[in-house]
Structure 1
Amino acid sequence: MAEKVKPTTINHALVPKQVVCDKEEVSRLLSKYNIRKDQLPKVSIKDPSIQVLELEPGDIIKISRSSQTEPSSLFYRVVV
C-alpha cells in the first residue's frame, strides 16, 4: 500500500512563523517579564505545527505574526 503523505501546515501562508526558543532566550524572556514558564500561554503537543517541529512538553516557541496594523508581533507559547 502507498504511504499517505501528510500536508505540511508549517509552510502554509496563513500559519505564522514559529521558532523554538533556546535556553538563553527562555531565561531572558522569563526574567524580562518576571514570570514563570507555567504562566505563559499554552499550546497543545497535538497541534499540527508543533508535531511538525517535533517539540516536547515544556519547550517554548516564539510566534511571529503580522497584520495590517502591525508589521510583526511576537507571541510566546509553552508546549503542554
Structure 2
Amino acid sequence: MKTVTMRVDDSIYDMIKLAADGQKRNLSNFIEFATMQYLTSSQFVENSEMNEIMNDKELVKNLMNGFDDLKNGDYNIV
C-alpha cells in the first residue's frame, strides 16, 4: 500500500469531506473509492468492446492517422 500526499483547494476539500461523510467513509477511503469509480467507468472498456473496436479496420486506420498527425505536430491537444 502506498501513501499519497496531495494539495487541494479548501472548497474542494470541503466537497470531498461532505461526500465522504455522506457515505459514512473516512476521507482516504472515499478518495480511493471515488478514484476507482472514475477509472473503471471512464477509462476502461470491456474486452468484448475493445475487440469490436480493434476489429473495425477503418476506425483503427483513422485513429492511427490521427495519432500520426498529433506526433507530427499537425494538431495540439488543449
Smaller-chain TM-score range? Answer: under 0.3
What TM-score, normalized by structure 2, do the two folds share? 0.26
Q: Which structure: greater helix fraction?
A: 2
More strand by share: 1
Question: What TM-score do the two structures reach when normalised by structure 1?
Answer: 0.26
- Point out which structure has higher relative CO (alpha carbons under 8 A, 6+ apart): 1
Q: Which structure would you say has the larger Rg?
A: 2
